[in-house]
Structure 1
Amino acid sequence: MGLLDGKVAIITGAGNGIGRAHALLFAKEGASVVVNDVGGARDGSAAGDTSAADAVVRELTQAGGKAVASHDSVATAEGADALIKKAVDTFGRVDILVNNAGILRDKSFTKMDEAMWDSVIAVHLKGTFLVSQAFVKQAIAQNSAGDPNERKGARIVNTTSVSGMMGNFGQANYAAAKAGIYGLTRTMSIELQKHRITVNALAPIAKTRMTEDLPMFHGVDTMTPEHISPAALFLASDLCGDRTGHVLAVAGARLYAFKIIETPGKFKDEASGVWTAQEIADNWDAIVKS
Structure 2
Amino acid sequence: MRTILITGASNGLGLALAEHFLSNGETVVINTRTPTTAELTEKQIDGNKFRGKHLIVPADVKNRKQVQHLFALANLKVGQIEVLINCAGINIDKSFMKMDDESWDEVINTHLKGTFISSQEFAKQHEGKLGHIITLGAGCGIQGRLNGANFCSAKGGILALTKCMARELAPRIAVNCLTPSAVDTDEVVSRYNLNTQEGLKKVLTGIPMDRLGKREDVIQMTESILSSKFTTGSNFFVNGGELMH
Q: TM-score range by the shorter chain?
A: 0.7 to 0.9
**Which residue does 2:207 correspond to in 1?**
none
Q: 1:202: Cα distance to partner?
A: 0.7
Match of 1:210 among 187, 206, 212: 187
Contact 2:21–2:52 (8 Å) recurs in 1? no
SS in 2 for 1:158: strand
Name segments (4+ residues, structure 1) moved above 6 Å: 255-258
Let me know the Cα RMSD of the aligned residues.
2.1
Identity among equivalent positions (%) equals 32
Amino acid of the structure 2 residue aligned with 1:115: E
Q: 1:128: Cα distance to partner?
A: 0.2
Match of 1:234 among 214, 218, 224: 224
User: In the superposition, relative to structure 1, how do residues 255 and 65 fare at CA in structure 2: closer, same or farther (>3 Å)?
Assistant: farther
**Which residue does 2:66 correspond to in 1?**
79
User: In the superposition, relative to structure 1, how do residues 170 and 53 fare at CA in structure 2: closer, same or farther (>3 Å)?
Assistant: same
Contact 2:130–2:229 (8 Å) recurs in 1? no
Work out the CA distance in 2 between the residues paired with 1:75 and 1:258: 32
**Which residue does 1:149 correspond to in 2?**
none
Rg comparison, structure with higher value: 1
- 2:27 matched to 1:51? no
TM-score after normalising by structure 1 = 0.74
Contact 2:10–2:37 (8 Å) recurs in 1? no
Match of 2:176 among 200, 216, 229: 200
TM-score after normalising by structure 2 = 0.87
Work out the CA distance in 1 between the residues paired with 2:40 and 2:152: 26
Match of 1:31 among 26, 35, 40: 26
List per-residue Cα deviations over 1:203-252 (Å, max 9, x = no partner): 1121323322344734457423232122122222xx2121001111113x
User: In the superposition, relative to structure 1, how do residues 249 and 56 fare at CA in structure 2: closer, same or farther (>3 Å)?
Assistant: farther
Q: 1:255: Cα distance to partner?
A: 7.0
Contact 1:101–1:124 (8 Å) recurs in 2? yes
**Which residue does 2:147 correspond to in 1?**
170
User: In the superposition, relative to structure 1, how do residues 81 and 167 fare at CA in structure 2: closer, same or farther (>3 Å)?
Assistant: same
List per-residue Cα deviations over 1:47-74 (Å, max 9, x = no partner): 84333432344246x1221101011111
- 2:171 matched to 1:184? no
Aligned residues: 231
Contact 1:102–1:123 (8 Å) recurs in 2? yes
- 2:92 matched to 1:102? no
**Which residue does 2:206 correspond to in 1?**
none
Work out the CA distance in 2 between the residues paired with 1:56 and 1:183: 35
Alignment of 1:149-160 (within 5 A): 152-160=129-137
Q: Which runs of 5+ in 2 are unaligned?
A: 201-210
Q: Which runs of 5+ in 1 are unaligned?
A: 40-46, 144-151, 260-290
